Amino acid sequence: MKILLAGHKGQLGRRLLSQLAAYQVTGIDLPDHDITNRDGVIALVRDVAPNLIINAAAMTDVDGCARDPALAYRANGLGPQNLALAAADVGAEMLQVSTNEVFDGRATAPYHEWHTTNPINAYGLSKLAGEWYTQRLLTRFYIVRASWFYAAGGRNFPHRIIQLADERGRLRVVTDEVGSPTYVDDLAAAIAQLITTHAYGIYHLVNEGQASRYEFACEILRISGRAAVPVEPITSDQFERASTPPPYAPLANNAAAALGIRLRPWQDALAEFLRETGYAK
């Protein structure tokens, strides 16, 4: 199978390259290739003639999206539209990576794949636009929603928590933002399984369980031997930022689990990540 992987230099893209080594994969990314350039995308896809396009490219700076919603829509909405148009042009399948932030966070239990979307910030709106184009321009597609993912070599929540703990000796972390922490290695492995099924649709691929940012931070500190670092629980109104995240947006894996694709509990995945990055004590 020939695969075109957009965003191959990112946290998820790098892991997907490893997971998809058995296939013929062409990776594209900035600055050489810009998925918001429609003519360029269609010409490239015609040249590669992939069986599957995976879009792991995105503007993931959530606060940056809030500051520049037009740029967010261009990257996260129009970019996927161009890839979907190109996929339709060559008869390819497409997998679009999305986010838990397409939900408003007003639920009291984890969101299922069929729950109504209602994003409350520019990032979520732009990612929902990417879902919308994928669903309406194609019949053979996968939409994979993930949440709070982290990987070695990237700037993400576990790295930041450890960095701040070492620099400041104390932390303040919000308790009223809840999600599904997800190790990118597990997400990439699940995607590699999913694309062999040809069972098209919407999927929630996250490590099992849920945590608040505060609980996530405390587990990072515990596993990394920094449990003595004091962590003050605060609410989001005490933490100023440009974007407003959904307060409660864990994802439930129903559709992939029905295919036998499950991700391990987030605590186990985090422990392995911290061991592999040398942070665990």
User: Does the pLDDT of residue 141 top 90, yes or no?
Assistant: yes
pLDDT score, position 279 = 87
DSSP label at 210?
A: -
Residue with tokens 């369980």: 209
Query: Mean per-residue pLDDT for 239-261?
Result: 95
Residue 280 — pLDDT band, cuts 50, 70, 90? confident
Q: How far apart are CA 194 and CA 11, in angstroms?
A: 19
| pLDDT tens digit sequence for 5-57 | 999 999 999 999 999 999 999 999 999 999 999 999 999 999 999 999 999 99
Q: How far apart are CA 96 and CA 144, in angstroms?
A: 6
Query: Mean per-residue pLDDT for 190-210?
Result: 98
Average pLDDT score, the chain: 96
User: Does the pLDDT of residue 97 top 90, yes or no?
Assistant: yes
Full set of structural domains in the chain with CATH: 2-154+181-208+251-263 (3.40.50.720)
pLDDT score, position 155 = 78
User: Does the pLDDT of residue 90 top 90, yes or no?
Assistant: yes
What backbone phi and psi angles, to 5 degrees, belong to 155? Answer: -90, 110
* Cis before 246 (ω within 30): no
Q: How far apart are CA 238 and CA 222, in angstroms?
A: 24
Query: Mean per-residue pLDDT for 70-80?
Result: 98
Max Cα distance, the chain (Å)? 57
With pLDDT > 70 as the criterion, what percentage of the chain qualifies? Answer: 100
Q: How far apart are CA 36 and CA 80, in angstroms?
A: 8
Type and span of the H or E element at 193: helix 184-194
What backbone phi and psi angles, to 5 degrees, belong to 232? Answer: -90, 120
281, 225 contact by CB (below 8 A): yes
Q: How far apart are CA 242 and CA 246, in angstroms?
A: 13
Strand intervals (E) in the chain? 2-6, 24-28, 52-55, 93-99, 141-146, 149-150, 171-174, 178-179, 182-183, 201-204, 211-212, 231-234
User: Does the pLDDT of residue 139 top 80, yes or no?
Assistant: yes
User: Does the pLDDT of residue 106 top 90, yes or no?
Assistant: yes
Asked which of 82-96, 152-166, 167-181 is least confident by mean pLDDT, the reply is: 152-166
Residue 239 — pLDDT band, cuts 50, 70, 90? confident
Token pair for 93: 């399948």
Burial of 163 by CB count in 10 Å (0-12 exposed, 13-18 middle, 19+ buried)?
Answer: exposed
Cβ neighbours of residue 169 closer than 8 Å, sequence gap 6 or more: 229
Residue 119 — pLDDT band, cuts 50, 70, 90? very high
Look at the pTM and tell me if it is higher than 0.75. yes
pLDDT score, position 164 = 95
User: Which residues participate in catalysis according to the annotation?
Assistant: 123
pLDDT score, position 130 = 98
With pLDDT > 90 as the criterion, what percentage of the chain qualifies? Answer: 95
